[in-house]
Amino acid sequence: MADYNASKPLDAQQLQERRREALTKIDNAEFGWFHVRACLVAGVGFFTDAYDLFAINLVTPMLGIIYFNGGALPSDLDLGIKVAASVGTFMGQIGFGYLADRLGRKRMYGIELMIIIVATLGQALSGNGYTLSLPAALIIWRVIVGVGIGGDYPLSAVITSEFATTNRRGAMMAAVFAMQGFGYLTTGIVAIILLAAFKDSIVANPQNLDYVWRILIGFGCLPALVAVYFRLTIPETPRFVLDVENNLNKAERDVATVLKENRNHLQSDEDNAVVVTDPSVAKGSFSDFCAYFSKWQNFKVLFGTSMAWFALDVAFYGIGLNNSFILSSINFSNVKGDAYQSIWNAAVGQIIIVLLGAVPGYWVTVFTIERLGRIKIQIIGFVMSCVLFCVLGFAYNQIKNYSVALFVFLFAATQFFQNFGPNSTTFIIPGEVFPTRYRSTGHGIAAGSGKLGAIIAQVGFSALKDRGGPNAFIPQLLQIFALFMFVGLLVTFLIPETKGKTLEELSNEDAYVDQSQSNSSRQNALDEK
């Protein structure tokens, strides 16, 4: 990096040259330990998120056995407990997305994990009271844990993308998100271990499942406790320092620190006499936000990423949080009169589905995304998911009666193509396509749209699944999920391919600035007349 004299004023060309040089160093850096560390720190959060979200899939059947005479949780309570985290997640995605652009990525990172830790412990220690029942307490705590989980989406996505090199950005972000698969898998494994440990006492008295669900939920604190220190100490991203704080000196120092370069030629940390800024850098504001997204070329990207995520999550959470119902409907998990075996089979079924579908799907994305590109993978995933949901929905009884194993395989295949497809790319693309000052906000809006889809899926699934009898409407729900996969496919064509492009190329910032300058010039000409 060239040596600059901070005491001498710099012209616009010199400022732009310094900015380009700093960004080029980040984009073309050698993949090193710092990038691995960033992926691990962000990835542990997503492991925790998935564990906390999907553990409830196994907990609700236990709550029904322990606390309700019929052995099943009433449908309204089952819905409330499952949808609560999605409601909180929606709030966290929007709120933390905005705050990370306003206050900085570093300042907010780690706070969301603290919220998750407190709320997870709160769930595990909840009990029945005179004024507050156990289900009500769980609903409140799950809204709070959802806020923390929601904050993790825009923060981890944006921090990873802004530190990543251009040619590995997609793989790094996919690897972070792929930790969800391991979190989902771990819920089943921990449940199996706990069930085996408490088998005799559960068989003697099913009420002893109370130990199992509390430990299962509480275990979600451990990975979050490991990661919270590293999140609090991660540096601010150089792009935020450049484009929002508008401090060239600090950005150059941060880049040198991250890449372990010699900093002797740079302004020292203590020398604050001159802060070099670029007056051409646009400031984030409500009016600027409206001006930027009022352009169709920018709005269509926000709409496309948001709608694709919405369509995906209708199906992804519709089946993801209701695996136990679907497995029960094909007589895979439900063993009448045997609480232990029913929960055991539900946990085993979840492990099988995750191992066959979710985990491979995530990691195939990691290893192919820089070759195939984001859009091609998203299209493949939506098309195959649509086809598989149609097959399962329209031939539900035929497949179930012919072979339960075949049904489970096809069901797992839907999760494979959701994860080797839109479940990964809808997370990755919004972290790449917006300018720095709105990158976290844009990601939060897209992710929040997804959670609206998850909420609708949960409410719809709960209201419709028993029409015509217990679990009788599940085939029609799978057909509805196929329709949403088709909608997701259509809106994908509004989204640009991001493979191999810098974040600055993707932001449409130059076009916006040029257009703004052109409009300003025309207005000045009119004023002169």
Listed in sequence order, the residues at least 6 apart from 118 whose beta carbon sits closer than 8 Å to its beta carbon are 144
Q: If you average pLDDT over every residue of the chain, what do you get?
A: 85
Q: What is the mean pLDDT of residues 494-499?
A: 95
For residue 519, what pLDDT is reported? 41
Q: 177-198, pLDDT tens digit by residue?
A: 999 999 989 999 999 999 999 9
Segments making up each domain of the chain, as ranges: 30-233+282-509
- Going by C-alpha positions, the residue among 221, 236, 178, 217 that lies closest to residue 43 is 178
Q: 64-95, pLDDT tens digit by residue?
A: 999 888 778 888 888 899 889 999 999 999 99
AA identity, residue 93: Q
For residue 211, what pLDDT is reported? 95
pLDDT at 273 over 80: no
For residue 274, what pLDDT is reported? 47
For residue 226, what pLDDT is reported? 83
- CATH 1.10.1370.40 correct for 30-233+282-509: no
pLDDT at 447 over 80: yes
Q: 361-376, pLDDT tens digit by residue?
A: 999 999 999 999 999 9
Residues above pLDDT 90, as percent of the chain: 49
The pairs formed by 524-529 with CB atoms below 8 angstroms and a separation of 24 or more are none
Consecutive H or E run containing 48 = helix 33-67
For residue 13, what pLDDT is reported? 77
Helices (H) and strands (E) in the chain, counts: 25, 0
Q: What is the mean pLDDT of residues 461-471?
A: 77
Q: How far apart are CA 179 and CA 156, in angstroms?
A: 12
For residue 263, what pLDDT is reported? 56
- Going by C-alpha positions, the residue among 232, 230, 219, 226 that lies closest to residue 183 is 219
pLDDT bucket at 254, cuts 50 / 70 / 90 = confident
Q: 308-367, pLDDT tens digit by residue?
A: 999 999 988 877 656 555 666 555 555 555 788 888 888 888 888 888 888 999 999 999
For the residues of 219-243, what is the DSSP string, one character each?
TTHHHHHHHHHHHHTSPPPHHHHHH
Within 10 angstroms of residue 529's Cβ, the number of other Cβ atoms is 5
Q: What is the mean pLDDT of residues 408-432?
A: 92
Task: Considering only residues 101 and 404, tell me which one the structure prediction assigns the higher pLDDT.
Answer: 101
Q: What is the mean pLDDT of residues 402-423?
A: 88
Task: Considering only residues 298 and 472, tell me which one the structure prediction assigns the higher pLDDT.
Answer: 298
For residue 522, what pLDDT is reported? 42
Q: How far apart are CA 299 and CA 292, in angstroms?
A: 8
Q: What is the mean pLDDT of residues 158-171?
A: 93
Q: How far apart are CA 240 and CA 437, in angstroms?
A: 7
